[in-house]
Amino acid sequence: MTRMKRQDAVVVIAAHPDDEALGCGGTLALLASEGRPVHVLLLADGENSRGPDGGHRVETDRVTARSASARSASKIMGCSSVEQMALPDNRLDGLELLDVVCYVEAFIQRHRPMTVLTHCAGDVNVDHRVVHDAVMVACRPQPGHPVKELLFFEVPSSTEWGPAGTTTPFSPNWFVDISSTLEKKLEALHAYESELRDFPHPRSMTAVKALAQWRGATVGVEAAEAFMLGRNIVQPR
């Protein structure tokens, strides 16, 4: 077997456990099946804004369960690793951006990825926007920086809820054919069963599958995930 170069690694940097599966789970499964190492960083636990006192406390078992779901989903998609942090959920805008950037930079330095996938800029969820900004800073194209490709994904029940005129619209110009891995994406989402909702909620299995089929239909394939290309540096062979 040909030894994969570290530059072939892919890194996903997401705000909450389930964002990675919702936004690019089919793509991750496809890349992993091709032998590319896929590493996932989840910055907030996704639970601590749901506490009984208005979001300052949450039961530890819910956080533990969400982390277990992230590990299960990661395994289903074939990811090489998943790292779960515990930054304040839905309060990342209360942190200094530089602090978030440092976490992202350290993760990128460890894995030296060629490709980074993260949130788009216009999501209604504030944590998604902060993570996007942090990734942009951490991936500045300085000489010798490993990241050559930046892709921004959409997250159902966040991206499409951004009011027109107040956020950056999601206008995809990069599509990945996930016809062969759509079922893996849906299986990974089943690991986050507590986060799923009944149709017609956009975070329902029916809606997620329909979105993949619609994105696919717009480019002539059975199913796809859509991205906005942030940067692509083509290097000479």
The tens digit of pLDDT for each residue in 113-165 reads 999 999 999 999 999 999 999 999 999 999 999 999 999 999 999 999 987 78
- Domain borders along the chain are 6-50+57-232
pTM of the model: 0.91
- CATH 3.90.650.10 is held by the domain 6-50+57-232: no
| Phi (first) and psi of residue 77, to 5 degrees | -80, -10
Burial of 171 by CB count in 10 Å (0-12 exposed, 13-18 middle, 19+ buried)? exposed
Distance from C-alpha of 106 to C-alpha of 91, rounded to nearest angstrom: 21
Rg of the chain's alpha carbons, rounded to an integer?
Answer: 17
- How far CA 120 is from CA of 19, 85, 136, 161, 167, in Å, comes to 12, 20, 11, 13, 10
The tens digit of pLDDT for each residue in 15-74 reads 999 999 999 999 999 999 999 999 999 999 856 555 555 555 555 777 888 899 999 999
